[in-house]
Amino acid sequence: MLNPVITASDGAFDTQEGCLSLTGERRTLRYRRIEVNYENRRFRARHATFTGWTAQIIQHEVDHCNGNHHLIHSVLVAATPLRAGHAGSSDRCNT
């Protein structure tokens, strides 16, 4: 998955997540279903819908691509009410 961009999301939920960059788990906001535009390994444009654990992993990695450190993201989530329908974005990134 190259250059992923989350184009739609729904089913917001609050969860605990760990990251190899930090010890322990932290509170974060994720979505149960996401739609993603990306390029495959042959640089062909693709669009797919992901749910569940796979969707959560993609969101975590896209956060890294966007420069959102897990600790900073957790602090922002703790201070922000849940927002249904929020879609993240990404510039160039390889996940």
Annotated catalytic residues are 61
Residue 18: what are its φ and ψ, rounded to 5°? -105, 165
Cα 84 from Cα 30, distance rounded (Å)? 10
Nearest Cα residue to 47 out of 86, 3, 93? 3
Q: Which residues contact 25 (CB under 8 A, 6 or more apart)?
A: 16, 17, 18
